[in-house]
Structure 1
C-alpha cells in the first residue's frame, strides 16, 4: 500500500526553483518528484527520526 501524499506549499528563492526545473527536465521527472528525490537522498545521508514507509 502506498503512503498517503500530503500537499504542502514551499516558498524558495527563484534560483533554487530554476535549478529544480532544470534538473527535473534533464531527468524527465516532475518538479515535485525532483524535490521528493532530493529530500529522500538527504534523509538517507543524515538519517531520519522516522523512517518513511
Structure 2
C-alpha cells in the first residue's frame, strides 16, 4: 500500500508541508465507503494548485 512508503522510518522529512502532502498521498489507494477511493481527481487538482501557489 502507498501508506507503507510514508511510514518508512528511513525517510527523514523535515518540511511540514511536504510531510503533509506525502501523508495524503500515502492514503491515495485507501477505499472509501461511498466511492472507490478516499480521494478523487478533484482532490489531486486542488493539491497541485495549492503547491503551485506556495
With CA pairs under 8 Å and 6+ residues apart, which has the higher RCO, 1 or 2? 2
Shared fold, TM over 0.5: no
Relative to the length of structure 1, the TM-score reads 0.35
**TM-score (structure 2 length as normaliser):** 0.34
